[in-house]
């Protein structure tokens, strides 16, 4: 089955700096890559996703890049703010109509310091 590895496990940045979180996946058939943000004690919420027919997607301060050949994708957060502090999870899935099951990475604890 699919295996998703995520690095780093913790990341501390100064407010206003950029943050980058990287993930690799094992199944070349995976074609959907979402990123979820989970604040302490809350539910995971989708912040951005990308399909395999696109190399990059941006939404304001958040961007995701995908390298299908290398089987890795990354989350980029620019101009970080204290409210960006949370745990971020990457995931991968094969969209086939058979449930779109997500395999998650182990998460990155991002701390944005003032």
Contact with other proteins (CB under 8 A) among 37, 66, 105, 110: 105
| Candidate ranges 53-61, 62-70, 77-85, 88-96; the one touching other proteins (CB under 8 A) | 88-96
Near other proteins in 52-71, by CB under 8 A: none
When the beta carbons of 11 and 78 are compared against other proteins, the nearer one is 11
β-pairing, 72-77 vs 19-25, is antiparallel
Does 26 engage in binding with other proteins (CB under 8 A)? no
């Amino acid at each position: 089955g699919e295996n998703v590895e995520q690095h780093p496990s913790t990341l501390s940045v100064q407010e206003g700096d950029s943050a980058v979180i990287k993930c690799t996946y094992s199944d070349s058939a995976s074609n959907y890559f979402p990123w979820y943000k989970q604040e302490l004690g809350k539910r995971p919420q989708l912040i951005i996703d990308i399909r395999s027919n696109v190399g990059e997607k941006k939404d304001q301060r958040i961007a995701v890049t995908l390298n299908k050949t290398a089987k890795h994708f990354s989350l980029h957060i620019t101009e970080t703010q204290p409210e960006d502090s949370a745990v971020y999870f990457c995931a991968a899935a094969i969209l086939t109509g058979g449930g779109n099951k997500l395999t998650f990475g182990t998460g990155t604890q991002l701390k944005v310091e003032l």
